[in-house]
A and B are shown apart, each in its own frame.
Chain A
Amino acid sequence: QKEVEQNSGPLSVPEGAIASLNCTYSDRVSQSFFWYRQYSGKSPELIMSIYSNGDKEDGRFTAQLNKASQYVSLLIRDSQPSDSATYLCAVNRGSGGGADGLTFGKGTHLIIQP
């Protein structure tokens, strides 16, 4: 069973600080990694995708991938109260066996304190 693990939180971060969210995955052959943001009662919204080892930056968001350690992280710089949400880490199920779709972690609840 492929697994994606996240600390459920809540993670509390002061406004303006850097929020660091972490995720580990069990399937070594996974190729695609995603971070989604989900507000309570709303649908998941894609904020970052990453496929290669290293860092990928988009505005205030940086995704980091380390395939050797099977570890994905998301950094949010200059955190804003509007960043308060649950962040879902997702990994593609397909790895050559024909499967498709995403395996999600249970999410980290992030609270940005004004």
Chain B
Amino acid sequence: DADVTQTPRNRITKTGKRIMLECSQTKGHDRMYWYRQDPGLGLRLIYYSFDVKDINKGEISDGYSVSRQAQAKFSLSLESAIPNQTALYFCATSDTTGAREAFFGQGTRLTVV
């Protein structure tokens, strides 16, 4: 089983719908992140969380919200999806100490039509 698991893996939704992407991890890391990847734009940070009580905006947080339900769970919501939110979304984790290397989930391919 993957250490960082994202659900769903693929999703097609309509403009204006609310959608939630979920992430769970078994690595025991405190820090969790949501990134989106677009062709030609690379990976960009949406939100990150140091722990359950500490959530921070990344580079491109507009139109998104997050919830850290537990140390192991971090969800990303699109309150009212729009077509330019079509992208590949990745959840990642890292340890608080040491190298701070990020470990990624398998990704969620989201299409907003």
Q: Which residues of A pack against B, CB within 8 Å?
A: 32, 34, 41-46, 49, 51, 88, 90, 92-94, 99-107
Smallest distance from the beta carbon of B36 to chain A beta carbons, Å?
A: 11
* Contact between B102 and A43, CB atoms less than 8 A apart: no
* Contact between A100 and B99, CB atoms less than 8 A apart: no
* Contact between A101 and B48, CB atoms less than 8 A apart: yes
Interface class of chain B by DSSP: strand
Q: Which residues of B pack against A, CB within 8 Å?
A: 31, 33, 35, 40-45, 48, 50, 56, 58, 88, 90, 99-107
Residue in chain A with minimal CB distance to B91: A43
Q: How many pairs of A and B residues are in contact by the CB < 8 Å rule?
A: 54
Please name all residues of chain A whose beta carbon is closer than 8 Å to the beta carbon of B105 when the two chains form the complex.
43
Smallest distance from the beta carbon of A93 to chain B beta carbons, Å?
A: 7
Please name all residues of chain A whose beta carbon is closer than 8 Å to the beta carbon of B44 when the two chains form the complex.
104
Residue among A41, A43, A99, A105 making CB contact with B42, cutoff 8 Å: A105
Please name all residues of chain A whose beta carbon is closer than 8 Å to the beta carbon of B41 when the two chains form the complex.
106
Residue among A43, A49, A93 making CB contact with B104, cutoff 8 Å: A43
Residue in chain B with minimal CB distance to A1: B59
Known: A46-B101, A101-B33. 15 other contacts (CB 8 A): A34-B102, A43-B105, A43-B106, A44-B104, A46-B102, A49-B101, A88-B42, A92-B100, A100-B31, A100-B48, A100-B56, A101-B48, A102-B102, A106-B42, A107-B42
Smallest distance from the beta carbon of A63 to chain B beta carbons, Å?
A: 13
Please name all residues of chain A whose beta carbon is closer than 8 Å to the beta carbon of B99 when the two chains form the complex.
32, 49, 51
Residue in chain A with minimal CB distance to B90: A43
Please name all residues of chain A whose beta carbon is closer than 8 Å to the beta carbon of B106 when the two chains form the complex.
42-43
Please name all residues of chain B whose beta carbon is closer than 8 Å to the beta carbon of A32 when the two chains form the complex.
99-100
Residue in chain A with minimal CB distance to B45: A101
Q: Enumerate the 4 nearest inter-chain pairs by beta-carbon distance, A residue then B residue, closest first.
A: A106-B42, A43-B104, A104-B43, A101-B45
Residue in chain B with minimal CB distance to A32: B100
- Could you jot down 15 A-B contacts, CB within 8 Å? A32-B99, A34-B102, A43-B107, A44-B43, A90-B102, A92-B100, A99-B56, A100-B56, A101-B48, A102-B43, A104-B42, A104-B43, A104-B44, A106-B41, A106-B42
